[in-house]
DNA sequence: CTTTATAGTGAACATACGTTCACAGTAAAT
DNA sequence: ATTTACTGTGAACGTATGTTCACTATAAAG
């Protein structure tokens, strides 16, 4: 009894100042807020060392400031949360991509600018990008395939983008997809290495920027020399 | 007392037939045998769904047919076992690479043959290759960096290999490394996708073979058109 | 043959886990 | 104002985990 009251009192006083933050908004807004908290917690726990499959449900709730049972009000289990993270992550990836495209439009040093903007976004949305990189090959197959599906979609987008370039005349749609795959692969790889570097070593970062830029340039040189069977023969 | 005797008897009788297998060899050979069993068990448990960091020590010992405490006679913890797996995996990778190189020597359809032999080896050593693919980006940083170091080494090997090609004249050593990186990246990626495919779908497999071959061809076309700053100007 | 070194045992430990349940508090609907 | 719908609580459960310890059995060394 005394114990119960005491705990309740502690809770109230602890919340106290945050009250405006904690209990603001409609019921639905608050639900979304703890949902966010769960997603954020999961991402945060993965930082650096751990993979998604090694993060426990209880850890997530603990880190989100919620009791374990509350988890089930939002997800049926960790896998569903994982899929939600895939969604979120690719939303930011696509947003980054769009902005990188816009920034690169002047087309002088197009490749360099694209790499710079993209890796810049990767840095600001570090956790999302790292999540994608980690779960692309590791962990459960359902999450892995969800990631792969999104990467494929993303590749297709880039492929239609590439089709607008003048040199694309000799290249079949299928081969454009193949080339886009190479580009995406290269950039994603670079992104993961980049995010995994000791954060205050601009030396290595610059080297990676340069190498990635070169690799993309080489790919485009290759594309220029490419001639698909049966395409552009006329 | 009776219980103890009974258990001992059961153990003896259960072993019975396998006696030659279980207890053959010197003390040291037997130790190596259970060490192998532990490594194998860990790889086996990772098959398909799980990442290394989600495999528990107890699972490994259980699956290896040994009591948990016995684990510590071989490794200080799971991380050490993980590093041993990195070692093993890259030994088979390098062996595969060497043989792929030998098989490709006739140099007609060099790329196609390399891809075929390499992916062939990947299939026979599925678990090692999958381990590498998974732990390259996921899991603990110490294992991740061990994998990355080996990949780097592997890339350097390929790079000196490429230097022997005639078209390498215009390319600086540094750029050769960059190109080798692109090649390795492409092949490893393809390998993981390949091993992750529903095993009895030769349709998709063929498509992947083709796409990978094309990507490598494009890279080599790019390399042909490449001219490093300050190299081959004379 | 006797002694020594050591791979594997089995029990115990404290701790963490996922999931369940009845319940409390409170927006939203009536 | 009363009822309903639902997010979050706290306790409990059975099970799994990593690590320790004294032990047994037996090759290898003396």
pLDDT-derived band at A17 (thresholds 50, 70, 90) equals very low
Q: Which of B83-92, B163-172, B186-195 has the lowest mean pLDDT?
A: B163-172
The answer to whether the CB atoms of B215 and A182 lie below 8 A apart is: yes
Burial class (CB within 10 angstroms; exposed 0-12, middle 13-18, buried 19+) of B90: buried
**Residue scoring higher pLDDT (A96 or B16):** A96
Chain A residues whose beta carbon lies within 8 Å of the beta carbon of residue B224: 225
Closest CA to A61 of A70, A52, A74, A53: A70
CA-based nearest distance B219→chain A, Å: 6
A198 at the B interface (CB within 8 A)? no
A151-155 CB contacts, 8 Å cutoff, 24+ apart: A151/A184, A151/A188, A154/A90, A154/A93, A154/A94, A154/A97, A154/A184, A155/A180, A155/A181, A155/A184
Residue A2 has pLDDT above 50, yes or no: no
> CA A49 → C1' C16, Å?
19
The CA–C1' separation of A156 and C11, in angstroms, is 59
Burial B17-35, CB ≥16 within 10 A → b, else e: eeeeeeeeeeeeeeeeebb
| pLDDT for A233 | 47
Contacts of B92 (CB under 8 A, 6+ apart): B121, B125, B128, B129
In the numeric block, which tokens belong to residue A221?
A: 């040189």
The topology under which CATH files domain B25-75 is Arc Repressor Mutant, subunit A (1.10.10)
- Percent of chain B whose pLDDT exceeds 70: 87
Determine the pLDDT at residue B23: 64
Contact B225, B203 (CB under 8 A): no
Instruction: Provide CATH 1.10.357.10 ranges for chain A.
Output: 78-228
CB-based contact, A227 to chain B, within 8 Å = no
Bases along strand C below 7 A from a protein CB:
6-12, 16-22, 25, 27-28
Chain B residues near residue A138 by CB distance under 8 angstroms:
51, 134-135, 137-139
- Name the band, by pLDDT with cuts 50, 70 and 90, for residue A143: very high
| pLDDT for A207 beyond 80 | yes
Which of B100, B141, B146 lies closest to B120, judged by CA?
B100
Looking at chain B, which residues constitute the CATH 1.10.357.10 domain(s)? 79-229
Domain A78-228: CATH superfamily is Tetracycline Repressor, domain 2 (1.10.357.10)
Locus of tokens 């990635």: A212
- Best CATH choice for the domain B79-229 from the list 3.90.1300.10, 3.30.420.40, 3.90.930.12, 1.10.357.10: 1.10.357.10
Tell me if residue B77 falls in helix, strand or coil.
Answer: coil
Please count the residue pairs, one from chain A and one from chain B, whose beta carbons lie less than 8 angstroms apart: 110
CB contact under 8 A, A135 and B138: yes
Class of CATH domain A25-74: mainly alpha
CATH 1.10.10.60 residue ranges for chain A:
25-74
pLDDT in tens, B20-44: 345 678 889 999 999 999 999 999 9
Residues of chain B with CATH 1.10.10.60: 25-75
Average pLDDT over residues A174-181: 97
């Amino acid at each position: 009894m005394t114990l119960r009251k005491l705990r309740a009192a502690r809770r109230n006083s602890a919340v106290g100042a945050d009250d405006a933050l904690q209990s603001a908004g409609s019921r639905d807004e608050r639900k979304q807020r703890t949902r966010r908290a769960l997603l954020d917690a999961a991402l945060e726990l993965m930082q650096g060392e751990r993979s998604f499959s090694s993060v426990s449900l209880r850890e997530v709730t603990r880190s989100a400031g919620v009791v374990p049972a509350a988890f089930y009000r939002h997800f049926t289990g960790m896998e569903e949360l994982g899929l939600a993270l895939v969604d979120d992550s690719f939303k930011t990836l696509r947003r980054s991509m769009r902005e990188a495209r816009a920034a690169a439009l002047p087309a002088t040093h197009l490749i360099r600018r694209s790499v710079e903007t993209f890796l810049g976004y990767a840095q600001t949305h570090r956790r999302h990008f790292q999540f994608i990189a980690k779960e692309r090959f590791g962990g459960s197959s359902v999450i892995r395939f969800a990631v792969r599906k999104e990467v494929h979609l993303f590749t297709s987008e880039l492929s239609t983008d590439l089709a607008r370039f003048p040199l694309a005349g000799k290249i079949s749609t299928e081969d454009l997809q193949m080339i886009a795959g190479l580009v995406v692969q290269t950039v994603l790889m670079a992104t993961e290495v980049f995010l995994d570097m000791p954060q205050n070593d601009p030396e290595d970062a610059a080297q990676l920027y340069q190498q990635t830029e070169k690799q993309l340039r080489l790919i485009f040189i290759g594309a220029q020399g490419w001639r698909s069977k049966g395409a552009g023969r006329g």
